[in-house]
Structure 1
Amino acid sequence: MGRWLIGIDVGTSGTKTLLVDDEGRVVARAYREYPLETPRPGWAEQDPAAWYRAAVEGVREVIRQSGLAPADVAGIGLSGQMHGSVFLDRSGDVVRPPLLWCDTRTAEEVRELNRTVGRERMIRLAGSPAMEGFTSPKVLWLRRYEPENFGRVDVLLLPKDYVRYRLTGEKSTEVSDAAGTGLFDVERMDWSTDLVESVGLRHDQLPPVLGSADVAGRLTESAAAETGLPPGVPVVAGGADNACGAVGAGVVRAGRALVSIGTSGVVLCHAPEPRRDEGGRVHTFNHAVPGAWYLMGVMLAAGLSLRWVREELGHLERMAAELTGADAYDLLAREAERSPAGARGLWFLPYLNGERTPHADPHARGVWFGLSSAHRREDLIRAVLEGVAYGLKDSLEILRSLGMEIEALRALGGGARSPLWRQILADVLQVPIARLNVDEGPGYGAALLAGVGSGVWADVAEAADATVRVTDRVEPQEGLRLRYEAGYAMFRSLYQALRPLFREAARRSE
């Protein structure tokens, strides 16, 4: 068997598949989309069969693109969206469409868990308070509203684990994804009896928990026929999307951290021990690196804020992009460059869909503040870029308050490709922002885990060190430090002043 690796990332919008060689070069990539079902407002469900079809098609596509002999594939790794609930019956069939991480129907179940288990105890055991997106309140919801389906549940899996089950016939999970369920003791690295029983499950309804680079099974005859690969290819356990993203960015040692601007925004740092935020503002989860954890703050509308601007205000940029082939986001950034630091006294609160870190406030909403007739479109756009940076600074300051030493951040995601946005991040956060030689997201980390499990590299740190390197750094501009410190203070004050009005606006919109 060869030394080529496949990484499969089961995302919310689609599945990305990468073919990577043993030096970390991406040889081929494929992407397959699938729908997100919203049968009611606030609900989010998907068909797990669509995940599997997308994975199978993606594997066939990267093999076709590369011209590689299928027998040269050494291993497969999987990453996936966290917190989803895939309920299987005794026959291995899906009981009902999974509730996804972005499903918010479980507000009452979250209140129940934080009341019965206790919010502080939830944080101590699970590394985070109960939240609507997590798995445990989804189980409570099923028990309460669909008791017949609840009675059929034989095992609970997470999205990527379901795809791996279809590939191997083996039902299991691994530490980094289990950590995001709200049922896992992140310090003991095992299912918590108290948390499992709090939602009415039995231990035998939860799968075995493996290490992220452990071989979880091998490709079955039927899956081999569907993918075009030979039977018996090792399939490693893989990891949650954020854990795999960290592996793929080389955040596998103490002192390393990343900032990601995708649809959401993330500040994540490697932690050699499970430090927790007593307020539950950031999450403490198990890493895909054995015996390690990561601390993570999440904002809900990072790149989404600029996407909203592109769709609603960027008509000229979109037209120019269609005519010239340029990227509409690049054109928006060029316009924002004409606005000075501070956007001429304009602030943007990037809370389009509520906010997680640090406010855990579903009622918060987006705001431009300080708008006058002197402002231009470039100021509106720059204020959005700065507002997202201020929101990410909230997470960074919390991580530092917990004793995490963060001297630089590795930048990932579509937003990090903008030189202007990277400079704004460096200036607002007052840390160097580093770019990497590869920015393929969680699928790349999944491929590296496959390499460890199949013997290409000895461990996760060796895999990351062999493949991921910093290519350039943006340094903070000292002359802007005081301006952005004052701007950040104003940003924080604006949320506190508007918080009661957000709640009143939500009440009036019901």
Structure 2
Amino acid sequence: MSILALDLGTSSVRGLVLDDAAAPLPGALARRSVEVVVDDSGAATLDAVAYRLALVDCVDELAGAGLLDGVRLVATSSQWHSAVPLDRAGAPLGPLVTWLDTRPAPPAGASGPADPDAFHQRTGTWWHRFYWTVKLPWLRANCGAGLACFTGLPEFVLGELLGAAPMSVSQASGTGMLDLTRLDWDDEALALAGVSRAEVPRLAPAGWRGRLTQAYARRWPALAGVPWAPAAGDGAASNVGSGCFDPSRAAVTVGTSAAVRLVQPVVPGAPLPPLPGEVWRYRVDHERIVTGAAYSAGGNLFAWARRELRLPEGDALERELSAIVPGKVEVRADPRLGGDRPPGSAPAGSGALAGLAFSTTAVEIFAGLMDGVCRMIARDLAVLESTVERSTEVVLGGGAVAAQPWWRRAFQAALAPRPVRHVDHPEVGATGAALIAAGLIPTGPAAP
């Protein structure tokens, strides 16, 4: 048996084939870049139809190479927090709004939850532009006539292939409108968003599986009749793919953005652990929760700094960084160039530098920016550990830290005395989604 794993990312869409233990098969990868359209208004959007075509291209490539023969399950990891308005025919009324978009704002005169702390404990989120409670009223006011409903990226993309794709509890938790205990839409959240249940996706029950439509089954005969699992949120999938599926081990992932997350087992209906006010909580699946903090600065900050500071490349950059002691940088940086993720509300353009002198070099500024990300994560990891009353091991992953050895050492300094190890696995999201879908997550503590 093999597993087709799809990864619906912010900068690319990928399809890869895994073996029955969810390990990637050599050479069985197809990738298409996608473009997030950004501007000075805070917009950060994707063309949902073009994104779907990119995914179809990836599967076409794998099918054409004969790599789908033997696939017995399709799993998907997808970015959280996206939203797109649809008309009655299911066509988008505008671009898909991503997690990077800072434009949504509450309607004039609107008020938030009656009890903000109870709302946070129940849904794991806040009344914030990041979530559908604010995004959907803003989209309704800006998408024009003909609105029928709202959906997210994976439901839109997979709905075309499967005929219908209900929303997983993992993806629904990322909207900020799911009651994490009852695993149903939260009535107060629906009211805040100004929507009925008919205007939001149907939720996938435990064990739901979809099948390709006849048209796509003819296009990809190897996948005809193969079950498709509902999409897992990319952060939850990345934790699982990194081996961080119990409270002994936290994942720090630096992809386009950065995040620190901790997974705990909590079955439906069971009481949730108390949630500190500084962090969010979503669902991995029906059996597990993930608590964490996320930041708009990550690999995007790394790429911006390399480009705009005209840094040396490769080994030359590492040689210059070797003179800077991690944790003892001269430049102090607020790395929030892209603004805050919730619960913060700082807009894009909130980054800042201090401690500059005429002798300051571009490499020292770069080190200060990278150190700033490390310090934010160290602060929030301590908050997460308070929910399990123990210190954790840290697994560090993601393409940005894989590319920069000094940044890995800076994380080790900021997170000390915790043990920190780096996992250079570029497909932890797809791997984690496959492990979740196939029921392959171990039930005991994570192995070292």
- State whether TM-score is above 0.5: yes
Whether the 8 Å contact between 1:253 and 1:461 is mirrored in structure 2 is no
Q: 1:508: which partner in 2? A: none
Shift in alpha-carbon separation, 1:360–1:57, aligned structure 2, 3 A: same
- The reply on whether 1:440 has 2:427 as its aligned counterpart is yes
Q: Of the two, which has the highest radius of gyration?
A: 1
Q: 1:338: which partner in 2? A: 323
Deviations 1:249-278, CA, capped at 9 Å, x for gaps: 122223221001122110000123533545
**Cα distance, 1:95 vs structure 2:** 3.7
Whether the 8 Å contact between 1:84 and 1:101 is mirrored in structure 2 is yes
Whether the 8 Å contact between 1:282 and 1:358 is mirrored in structure 2 is yes
**Residue type of the partner of 1:254?**
P
Whether the 8 Å contact between 2:247 and 2:388 is mirrored in structure 1 is no
Whether the 8 Å contact between 1:354 and 1:365 is mirrored in structure 2 is yes
**Cα distance, 1:306 vs structure 2:** 2.4
Shift in alpha-carbon separation, 1:38–1:439, aligned structure 2, 3 A: closer
Q: Residues 133-212 of structure 1 correspond to what in structure 2 (within 5 A)?
A: 133-146=130-143, 148-150=145-147, 152-153=148-149, 156-210=150-204
Q: What are structure 2's unaligned runs of at least 5 residues?
A: 267-271
Whether the 8 Å contact between 1:113 and 1:130 is mirrored in structure 2 is no
Q: What are structure 1's unaligned runs of at least 5 residues?
A: 318-327, 453-458, 471-510
Shift in alpha-carbon separation, 1:400–1:56, aligned structure 2, 3 A: same
Shift in alpha-carbon separation, 1:333–1:343, aligned structure 2, 3 A: farther
Q: SS at 2:46's partner residue?
A: coil
- The reply on whether 1:405 has 2:398 as its aligned counterpart is no
Shift in alpha-carbon separation, 1:18–1:111, aligned structure 2, 3 A: farther
Q: 1:271: which partner in 2? A: 264
Q: SS at 1:314's partner residue?
A: coil
Shift in alpha-carbon separation, 1:464–1:310, aligned structure 2, 3 A: farther
Q: Residues 22-421 of structure 1 correspond to what in structure 2 (within 5 A)?
A: 22-27=20-25, 28-38=28-38, 41-65=41-65, 67-68=66-67, 70-109=68-107, 112-114=110-112, 117-146=114-143, 148-150=145-147, 152-153=148-149, 156-210=150-204, 214-227=207-220, 229-273=222-266, 274-279=272-277, 281-288=278-285, 290-315=286-311, 317=312, 328=313, 330-343=315-328, 345-356=330-341, 359-362=344-347, 365-417=350-402, 418-421=404-407
2:389 & 2:231 partners in 1: Cα distance?
26
**Cα distance, 1:43 vs structure 2:** 2.3
Q: Which residue, out of 436, 443, 447, partners 1:449?
A: 436
User: Which structure shows the higher helix fraction?
Assistant: 1
Provide TM-score, normalisation by structure 2.
0.88
How many residue pairs get matched?
439
Moved more, 181-190 or 267-276: 267-276
Q: 2:441: which partner in 1? A: 461
CA RMSD of aligned residues (A): 2.8
**Residue type of the partner of 1:54?**
A
**Residue type of the partner of 2:201?**
P
Whether the 8 Å contact between 1:110 and 1:130 is mirrored in structure 2 is no
Shift in alpha-carbon separation, 1:90–1:363, aligned structure 2, 3 A: closer
2:296 & 2:55 partners in 1: Cα distance?
27
Q: 2:269: which partner in 1? A: none
Whether the 8 Å contact between 1:29 and 1:62 is mirrored in structure 2 is yes
1:342 & 1:407 partners in 2: Cα distance?
20
**Residue type of the partner of 2:422?**
R
Q: SS at 1:74's partner residue?
A: strand
**Cα distance, 1:120 vs structure 2:** 2.6
**Cα distance, 1:168 vs structure 2:** 1.0
Whether the 8 Å contact between 2:46 and 2:97 is mirrored in structure 1 is yes
Q: SS at 1:217's partner residue?
A: coil
